[in-house]
Amino acid sequence: METISYEYEGSLYVNLTNKCDCSCVFCLRHNGHKGSIYADDLWLEHEPTRQEALEDLLSRDYANYRELVFCGFGEPMFRTDDILWLVDRLKEQVPNLPPVRINTNGHANAILGRDVTPELKGRIDTISISLNGSTPEEYCAVTRPRSGARAWDDMLDFARKCRDYVPNVVMTIVDKDKTQAEIDRCRAITEELGVTLRIRAYIPD
């Protein structure tokens, strides 16, 4: 049974797609992984329709969760329209819906060919964007984006635009293999953007 949503550390995580425009060196989708420490069977043989995802999400008791997180075994914002549709339906039907977060690589505007950030307003409480590096070279070496170095600028531009529409804009790096100088440069980037830097511990798969 494929996993559309799963619980992790008190939050409900939603998995809508395997698609991604990156090929990160650490991505759990490589090496034949179909699950992770979070849940088994995250690889979707067929992507759930928005209606199937809604049914799954409406079967949950939201009193149990501190956050609803769209992440996935791929880049969730390939399905931005469906995420926003789901959030609207949930806000209509779930009186105690917790804050909503999207974990993303920040390429949505480039992928979808339009600026989606205004559509996040009033729907998404936190957007967590993977910064992954302190220079375009470091970023591309780690994330191996389909569009090359342009993806770095796309990601920074997305973060900048999100500030106007999303209350909490967070950029994340993983501490493993980062020098202090690299971390300092990441901090300078996020300070210049006016967003929060979150340094995550590496979680081995």
> In this complex, which beta carbon is closest to ligand SF4, that of residue 74 or of residue 98?
74
At 58, which helix (H) or strand (E)?
A: helix 50-58
Please, what is the minimum distance in Å from the beta carbon of residue 53 to ligand SF4? 18
> In this complex, which beta carbon is closest to ligand SF4, that of residue 24 or of residue 97?
24
Measure the N-to-C terminal CA separation of the chain; round to a whole number of Å: 21
Please, what is the minimum distance in Å from the beta carbon of residue 21 to ligand SF4? 7
> In this complex, which beta carbon is closest to ligand SF4, that of residue 26 or of residue 62?
26
Please, what is the minimum distance in Å from the beta carbon of residue 38 to ligand SF4? 13
The residues, any chain, with a CB within 8 Å of residue 182's CB and separated by 6 or more, are 133, 134, 138
> In this complex, which beta carbon is closest to ligand SF4, that of residue 5 or of residue 143?
143
Contacts with ligand SF4 by CB under 6 A lie at 20, 22-24, 27, 29, 74-75, 105, 143
Three-class secondary structure of residue 182 per DSSP: helix
The residues, any chain, with a CB within 8 Å of residue 86's CB and separated by 6 or more, are 14, 50, 53, 54, 57
Please, what is the minimum distance in Å from the beta carbon of residue 9 to ligand SF4? 19
At 137, which helix (H) or strand (E)?
A: helix 136-143
